Amino acid sequence: MRTPFISANWKMNKTVDETVTFFKEFIPLVNDAKDVDIVIAPPFTSLQAAASIIKGTNISLAAQNVHFQEKGAYTGEISPVMLSEIGCSFVIIGHSERRQYFFETDEMVNKKIQTARKYGLDVIVCVGESLQEREAGKTFEVLKRQVVSGLKDIPSDSLVIAYEPIWAIGTGKTATTEQAQEAHNFIRDQLSALYPEASKEIRILYGGSVTPDNIDALMACPDVDGALVGGASLKAESFAKIVNFKRSL
């Protein structure tokens, strides 16, 4: 059985002081959550404070992005070596906002994954279609391209995939459970072709306006193994409710 995986992506939110306040409220609320992997991705400026305060807890730290080089003349970027040193275990790669606003391609995503893995970081790889692509009937075409190209020559161990339909991110719209399961099942089929032995062990998260109100239904889907949470992860009580979702019997 795949262990549930609940991750927060704070995006460009929270100062260092706000980060410390969040964790002081959040940690006691999830102390008993032993059967779920909890990962939080603060902004870069809050990583060190977060790493210090979560030490010894059941929470892991992620970065929201990484460069594909170890070091060099890349102003404003951050390397996997720096992230590992500061205490990150995971990094989010290929988020739709990175693809949309910073023009990241599948090839760039692949290079980042390779470098992150080389320096000991596990990756949460984001895939997902836009509203225009869904309405044009291209959802599966887009997902196949992103999975196959993004994961080229990438080993399967400790790999996490996040399906984020772009039309549901920050819009208040959520894919129906049927839409989420259909997409996750398709992604798992693509993983089966790439990793015949390991595909059933790879966790696939859903992201896109996840809230305490819809997490139970989403997690009841056979191929939904967790969530990548944006806005609802910014408040300790709200995100704790998602982490402590009601398990299906």
> Where do the domains of the chain lie?
5-243
* CA distances (Å), origin 46, targets 53, 56, 77, 179: 11, 18, 16, 35
Instruction: Give pLDDT, residue 158.
Output: 84
Instruction: Give pLDDT, residue 247.
Output: 73
Q: How far apart are the first and last CA of the chain?
A: 13
Instruction: Give pLDDT, residue 171.
Output: 75
Instruction: Give pLDDT, residue 249.
Output: 47
Q: What is the pLDDT along the chain (249 residues), one digit of tens a residue?
A: 899 999 999 999 999 999 999 999 999 999 999 899 999 999 999 999 999 999 999 999 999 999 999 999 999 999 999 999 999 999 999 999 999 999 999 999 999 999 999 999 999 999 999 989 998 999 999 999 999 999 999 999 989 999 999 888 777 777 899 999 999 999 999 999 999 999 999 999 999 889 999 999 999 999 999 999 999 999 999 999 999 998 764
Nearest to 111 by CA among 96, 94, 90: 94
Instruction: Give pLDDT, residue 112.
Output: 98
Coil, helix or strand at residue 40: strand
Largest separation between any pair of C-alpha atoms in the chain: 53
CATH code for the domain defined by 5-243: 3.20.20.70
**DSSP 8-state assignment for residue 75:** T
Instruction: Give pLDDT, residue 248.
Output: 62
State the Cα torsion 161-37-89-20 to the nearest 10°: 120
Q: Which residues are tagged catalytic?
A: 95, 164
Residue ranges of alpha helices (H) inside the chain are 16-29, 47-54, 80-86, 96-101, 106-118, 131-135, 139-150, 177-194, 215-219, 236-243
Read off the pTM: 0.95
* CA distances (Å), origin 233, targets 3, 100, 130, 156, 209: 20, 22, 23, 28, 10
Say how far apart CA 175 and CA 192 lie, in whole Å. 24
